[in-house]
Structure 1
Amino acid sequence: MFEVFRHETSHFNNIGRFTVLLWLGFSWLFLQSQIAGRTTWSAPATLFPKVNFSRPRWGDPLRLLIQGAWLICIRQTPSDTQPAFKPPLPKAYTPGDLRSVHWLFKSTALIRWGIMRAEKKLSLHQSYNPASDKALSRTQQQMLGIIVGCAMLLCISVPMDYQAQTIYVCVLLLVAALLRQVSGRFSTMLLMVLSVIVSSRYLWWRLNNSLNWDDALGLFFGLLIVAAEIYAWIVLLLGYFQNIWPLRRNPVPLPGNEQDWPKLDIFIPTYNEPLDVVKATIYACLGLDWPRDKFEIHLLDDGKRDTFKDFAKDVGINYIRRPTNEHAKAGNINYALKQTTGEYVAIFDCDHIPTRGFFQLSMGWFLKDPKLALIQTPHHFYSPDPFERNLSHFHQVPSEGTLFYGLTQDGNDLWNGSFFCGSCAIIRRIPLEEIGGIAVETVTEDAHTSLRLHRKGYNSAYLRVPISAGLATETLSAHIGQRIRWARGMTQILRLDNPLRGPGLKWHQRLCYFNAMMHFLSGIPRLIFLTAPLVFLLLHTYVIYAPAGLLLLYVIPHMFHSSLVNSKVHGKYRYSFWGEVYETVLAWYVARPTIVALFAPHKGTFNVTAKGGRIDEEYFDWVISKPYLLLIALNVLGCIWGGFRLAFGPETEIAAVLVNMAWTLYNLLLLGAAAAVARELKQIRSTPRVVADIPVSLALPSGHRLSARLRDFSFNGMRIEHEATSALEEGQILDVIMERAGEYFAFSAKVMFSNNTVAGLQLQYLDHQEMTRYVQCTFARSDNWIKSRGGFHYDRPGFSFKQIAAASLRGYQQFLEIGPKPLPQIYYFYQAVRDKIYSYLPTRIQSARHFSN
């Protein structure tokens, strides 16, 4: 009896202890919530967000226990608000530490002061005159060049052991990190010099100390990798040369008397594009701010369509149809040259819409420089390309062409090497006729034409102002097809009219053209880099015959310095790592045509890039993605086999296996992003909408007028935002009033939907004159594209890497979802298991107001 009583007493004591502990825990939890001041007991879901109290599940008791323990043990910060940033408390420094920090700051300040003094002393700005009395003589320049060259050669070629190489690398990394903090062009030039030294030293070491001469297979693959690295080194050096000092040319004002302005012919070549795409360009040209008797618009129709002829007649422009179609676009323009007489020829692709001030901003340079034969302006696109649309980063990440039109062409302009890009350009007729018109020997007639103009001694100019806009390619297949044509054409020029040879070009012009052509030869080197580590992992062949630690001491500084310089130089025109994604997508497809063009330069035909299409259903482009999937499979196999070698292989190879597996994982990251681009998202609009912020007025049938903001527009409609939008009724007809150069125009529109502060309007029938005015008030506004082009932040390599990692993860996820069986089943099973496990994991508490809204 006593034993039973003692057992019961013990049982109740245990219950009492458990109750006390439970109350203590919940009291602590209550105190936490009260101290935080953001959570109350009125909403239990704030404490247990993964428990549905209205519909309990079998696992809820376990979820309550895990979440309760989490809340008791971990102090909560509500996740709906970000705590104020508090800088970390400084640690207690020793006098030696303080001296080191003080020395670091003094060194940085000294370097900045020295660079500023050097810039001032050397007068490194646009007004610098090399022919001035203070400039170095030719002999002094040669002596200085010899001294600098010898010093660089010593830095590149002197052999060092592990310790010396480590100290050398650390010193250069420290200097580069300090220079990175100094603004200005001179610090950028010093960073370029450091990068050239480090990269050249790496290549010197690769050629002299890392080739496997004892193994024929290893030597063969090792030489392939070295050849790819030499290509990358040449492109790196040419890129530094090309972008060392972008000219940043400004517009030149025209004479005050309009009678002194020259006459122009505007060519709009077309072949198979829909009329709706061409109409916008014609309407924009009709409204150009240029005396109407000083320009004539010509619609060059190689498609021989009567609808185009009738439209040209209706709007009052000239229609040109040639009897044959030889030489594609180049032949079309050359035929029109014989039918026209204007002093200058402006060429716009049929989807490129010029702003109304296009000629007023660009023509002044022709009147200032009689030797100027060509002025090129950027190709700006108001619709997303496949990368921007399929990866959902339109206006967040610079597009593939932003680097070329934002920086490279501007760098070419310093060396008088900017070239014709086929559209949004003006050419003086006399030089063009002197070289026989547009070049027809290659499929990139634009660059070849400017090369011939430069050979004749004429100048070119690049005006980095987005004063026109067009449609980007809609699908990845169309985008790749366009790049294939560019790659084939530039390789044809390299073979048929090599800029390194032949008369007429300055040495710097030769290098600018050569770099442009080298860029399109990146297919084979990129494929080598994507498969190089697999030679060691799968074939057990040493393609880099050196210790892994020594390899890292050479390759990491090379990669770090080149990435650092490119990040600073490219700024907001190309984010880190994205260039490698673009090359990965194109590598397989540009490799073959460039090789063929090198050996058979006359092969290949001109293909027209489709514009203005729709994508009715989302799909994965299996045809385009086959090369990526093959490379992914090979790299995954390499990782699996590398893991096996780590577990069961010799210990002496562990470091080499780890280095090659890291390289393979990076390749898988790039290939995953490439696969993500192949998932074509739905695009139901054939006329893309352009984001805007333009003040407008709404004239209602009742006679009231409301002020509003135009948030986006297209050729068919617009979206407006207004505080009193609720007064608009669906189906209502109203007038949208817009302003242009002090004049106001009304456009009839129908309300398609209206909710809260947003309304969607559809344009009613507008005649040709009204459409011209509408385009002038929307697409052809002079400030439209300047605002959208300058909206990118400067490059942040870490954030950029995170973006690519997210895109790569999405690519693999999409492939697993729609891949062949049993991949989708395995993926869905994994998702179910993951979600089940996640439902038991504790979660930070949410604010109660989330649940009351």
Structure 2
Amino acid sequence: MGIKKKIQYFLAIFLTVMYLIWRIFFTIPWTASFFTLLFALLLVTSEILSSFTAFLLIIFRLMKDKSDKKIEDPKFDLNEPAPSIDVIIVTHNEEVDLLRKTVNAAKFMEYPDPKLVNIVIADDGNRPDVKALADEYSVQYIGMENNKDAKAGNINNALRQLNSTLLTVFDADMIPFSNYLMASVPFFTKNFADLKSDPDNTEKIGFIQTPQSFYNADIFQFNLFLESSVVNEQDYFSRDINVLNGASGHALFTGSNAVFLRESVDRVGLFPTDTITEDFELGARINSAGYISLATEVAVSSGITPVDIKSVIKQRVRWARGVIRSGKNMHIFTNPNITFLNRIILINTWLYWWSFFRRLIFIIAPILYALFHIQVVNANFWLLMIFWAPGYFSLHHVLGDTPTNIRNERWGEIQETFFAPYIFLPVILETIGIRAKKFKVTDKKVNFSWKDKLYSIPYLILWGLTLFSIIIFNYGKWGSEILYGSVITFWLLMQFINLSFCVFISMKRNINRKSERFMRKTSGKIKYNGEWLPFKTRDVSDAGLSMELCNEDSRAVLERGQKVEGILYHKSYPIHFDGLVMRSSGQGAEKWYGLVSEIKNNEDRNHYLELIYDGQNKFVAAEQDNWLTTLDELNLNIIFHLNKIERSIMKKFNKNSR
């Protein structure tokens, strides 16, 4: 990091601190009514906490740059023995077809000595079809009955019957890539060697967290038609924030695709059961026991994320309540076993779930002033410009100037706004000790119903109030009146844009495909009139593939509805399939065909699944498209939805005119 950027970072912090000092001592309306004073104190507290979390992010970026501690994948030292590892795939009630993909991928994982890899299905339902799946793939099956401790209880039941040096845990839908073990286990083998050669200066690794990656578009990407432009919302934490946590040796465990030193899990009493976020608490307990944890940047597994609003919100409420509960269990503010840096990381994670309450305060404050003349900030325009503007714009500039191109500051506000109406109350209730009676594992199947439309009500109410506030506040103003009210108008406009996105996110978008497409380029051949014609794939999915014929003279030979026999190659393995041509598109050299396929041989099917799921889905963005601004994205959604309304009207008109 250059000196110029460091100066910008320190200047942003300095200007923001100056603003906060002024806010605290000179702008709070102490003589106002109880409600006004209460809201004013909530607002200034929200500003302080928001600035605190921003400062931490800046400081951790500076620390990472100073230490120059990059997490690079070490290689296996072939002179050292590879450790044994238990690969635990946890299932509760997931469909066997989904579980099959994960088990199949685990069997394809590369390792110096495959005999040291023990794949286990931990099933707390004792389901015969899951046992049959384990037998089919020759993996260990551990069932149980009457599990009262959810995922943690299932894992602990398995661990009591296992004893490998390392262990890794996968959710049923989190599919490992073939290089998963090769990209994670060498951290431990190197650490073992370092501990032998220099024990006094080597810290023992408790676990390595690889990124949570997803092969389908999340609710933000999908419902906003931005799959190729906006990164999955969870990537920001996994590939940026947690990597910064790991740079100090205190990465958080996020529930799946992490590799543990078995010793560290045993030392803290296995997975904690008095919480619904056993992942967060286990990682914290391992760090408190003296082990370090690291987080890598490159995804080596990929799962499925829910896209219906009900499932997404329930998932986040569960996470929020769990972290608040685990914070109490761990006594993160007072526990003497927690180091200073680890305490800061844990408190920052705990405060994150309060950011949604803060976001509501930021939305409501300008509405109170615009509609009801409730002044929660006692300051004139020019003082506000002197103290607020420099700190605000410099801090946002610094926060947006990140080494990773995953998420900008604007998208962070939009995502906070989306979750705010549904998370703030559970966080308050959990904090004061009112716990939820029951939680369910997030259902990854898309389950749309008419009830989903009800979730848009809070956004519509806040959106309408904000729009009305903009109109009422600015109506009849001229000249200097507009200038003096510009801060409130700016504030309202920013919230209006955020809420507009939330309204669009809450609108259901039809899912026209039964399975996800993956951009996979491989070769094959198809039988036509007794002749084998070579082709190259464009993409593949569980249901079929699209391909281009390589022979120039044969580009237009296939017809829709035609049955074909084909062979697809995966790492030189021939996958035989029967296909049916469902679509042809393009002309000449651009012509391609879409086929549905059927694979009858089990080994061929396993290789086909590995072809699909071994690697990230490049149809889903891995980086933010900075050429597309927030206003461009908003305009895109307005056009899409206007076109949808137009098509609906024309359809009804044509129907009535018959």
Q: Give the match's secondary structure for 1:663.
A: helix
Conserved? CA contact 1:614–1:686, under 8 Å:
no
Report the equivalent of 2:394.
Answer: 561
Deviation at 1:418, TM superposition (A): 0.5
Report the equivalent of 2:466.
Answer: 635
Report the equivalent of 1:188.
Answer: 5
Partner of residue 454 from structure 1, selected from 256, 275, 287:
287
1:776–1:811 Cα change, 3 Å: closer
1:498-545 deviation digits (Å, cap 9, x = unpaired): 333213332112112221221111121100100101221222222211
1:596–1:492 Cα change, 3 Å: same
1:227 pairs with 2:45? yes
Aligned pairs (5 A) from 1:221-300: 221-244=39-62, 245=64, 247-256=69-78, 260-290=81-111, 291-300=113-122
The code of the aligned residue for 1:670 comes to N
The code of the aligned residue for 2:8 comes to L
Deviation at 1:462, TM superposition (A): 1.4
Provide the C-alpha distance between the structure 2 equivalents of 1:548 and 1:680, rounded to a whole number of angstroms.
42
Instruction: Return 339-348 or 606-615, whichever deviates more.
Output: 606-615
Provide the C-alpha distance between the structure 2 equivalents of 1:808 and 1:747, rounded to a whole number of angstroms.
42
Partner of residue 515 from structure 2, selected from 682, 687, 690:
687
Q: Give the match's secondary structure for 1:726.
A: coil
Provide the C-alpha distance between the structure 2 equivalents of 1:296 and 1:508, rounded to a whole number of angstroms.
36
Conserved? CA contact 1:243–1:412, under 8 Å:
no
Percent identical across equivalent pairs? 25
1:719 pairs with 2:546? yes
Provide the C-alpha distance between the structure 1 equivalents of 2:19 and 2:74, rounded to a whole number of angstroms.
46
Provide the C-alpha distance between the structure 1 equivalents of 2:31 and 2:549, rounded to a whole number of angstroms.
77
Conserved? CA contact 1:749–1:761, under 8 Å:
no
1:646–1:528 Cα change, 3 Å: same
The code of the aligned residue for 2:276 comes to V
Report the equivalent of 1:322.
Answer: 144
The code of the aligned residue for 1:553 comes to I
Report the equivalent of 1:626.
Answer: 457
1:203-249 deviation digits (Å, cap 9, x = unpaired): 11111222223322543332221111111111111221233326431
1:339-379 deviation digits (Å, cap 9, x = unpaired): 22222111111111111111112111111224212011011
Provide the C-alpha distance between the structure 1 equivalents of 2:373 and 2:549, rounded to a whole number of angstroms.
68
Provide the C-alpha distance between the structure 2 equivalents of 1:387 and 1:603, rounded to a whole number of angstroms.
27
Q: Give the match's secondary structure for 1:700.
A: strand
1:271-325 deviation digits (Å, cap 9, x = unpaired): 1221111111111111111233211221122233322222222222222221112
Conserved? CA contact 1:416–1:460, under 8 Å:
yes
Provide the C-alpha distance between the structure 1 equivalents of 2:548 and 2:350, rounded to a whole number of angstroms.
48
Aligned pairs (5 A) from 1:101-500: 184=1, 186-216=3-33, 217-244=35-62, 245=64, 247-256=69-78, 260-290=81-111, 291-370=113-192, 371-500=204-333
Conserved? CA contact 1:478–1:609, under 8 Å:
yes
Deviation at 1:718, TM superposition (A): 1.3
Provide the C-alpha distance between the structure 1 equivalents of 2:245 and 2:614, rounded to a whole number of angstroms.
28
1:329–1:196 Cα change, 3 Å: same
Conserved? CA contact 2:456–2:507, under 8 Å:
no
Deviation at 1:332, TM superposition (A): 0.7
Conserved? CA contact 1:612–1:687, under 8 Å:
no
Conserved? CA contact 1:473–1:479, under 8 Å:
yes
| Aligned CA-pair RMSD | 2.8
Provide the C-alpha distance between the structure 2 equivalents of 1:487 and 1:645, rounded to a whole number of angstroms.
44
Conserved? CA contact 1:578–1:804, under 8 Å:
no
The code of the aligned residue for 1:447 comes to F
The code of the aligned residue for 1:762 comes to V
The code of the aligned residue for 2:461 comes to L
1:758 pairs with 2:592? yes
Aligned pairs (5 A) from 1:92-107: none
Deviation at 1:434, TM superposition (A): 1.4
1:598–1:816 Cα change, 3 Å: farther
1:518–1:738 Cα change, 3 Å: same
5+ residue gaps, structure 2, are 193-203, 653-658
Aligned pairs (5 A) from 1:461-610: 461-569=294-402, 571-600=404-433, 603=436, 605-610=438-443
Provide the C-alpha distance between the structure 1 equivalents of 2:293 and 2:135, rounded to a whole number of angstroms.
35
Q: Which has the larger radius of gyration?
A: 1
Deviation at 1:395, TM superposition (A): 2.4
1:512–1:814 Cα change, 3 Å: farther
Please give the TM-score of this superposition, normalised by the length of structure 2. 0.88
Conserved? CA contact 2:39–2:376, under 8 Å:
yes
The code of the aligned residue for 2:426 comes to P
Q: Give the match's secondary structure for 2:446.
A: coil
Report the equivalent of 2:525.
Answer: 698
1:654–1:359 Cα change, 3 Å: closer
Instruction: Return 604-613 or 289-298, whichever deviates more.
Output: 604-613
Deviation at 1:733, TM superposition (A): 2.6
1:624-648 deviation digits (Å, cap 9, x = unpaired): 111111212222332343244638x
Deviation at 1:603, TM superposition (A): 4.4
Q: Give the match's secondary structure for 2:538.
A: strand
1:586-614 deviation digits (Å, cap 9, x = unpaired): 00111011111111175454431111436
Please give the TM-score of this superposition, normalised by the length of structure 1. 0.69
Provide the C-alpha distance between the structure 1 equivalents of 2:361 and 2:642, rounded to a whole number of angstroms.
26
The code of the aligned residue for 1:708 comes to F
The code of the aligned residue for 1:202 comes to Y
The code of the aligned residue for 2:467 comes to V
The code of the aligned residue for 2:534 comes to S
Deviation at 1:190, TM superposition (A): 2.5
Deviation at 1:764, TM superposition (A): 1.7
Provide the C-alpha distance between the structure 1 equivalents of 2:53 and 2:122, rounded to a whole number of angstroms.
38
Provide the C-alpha distance between the structure 1 equivalents of 2:583 and 2:568, rounded to a whole number of angstroms.
18
1:410-433 deviation digits (Å, cap 9, x = unpaired): 111111010211111111112111
5+ residue gaps, structure 1, are 1-183, 829-853
1:812–1:585 Cα change, 3 Å: farther
The code of the aligned residue for 2:598 comes to Q
Q: Count the aligned residue pairs.
A: 625
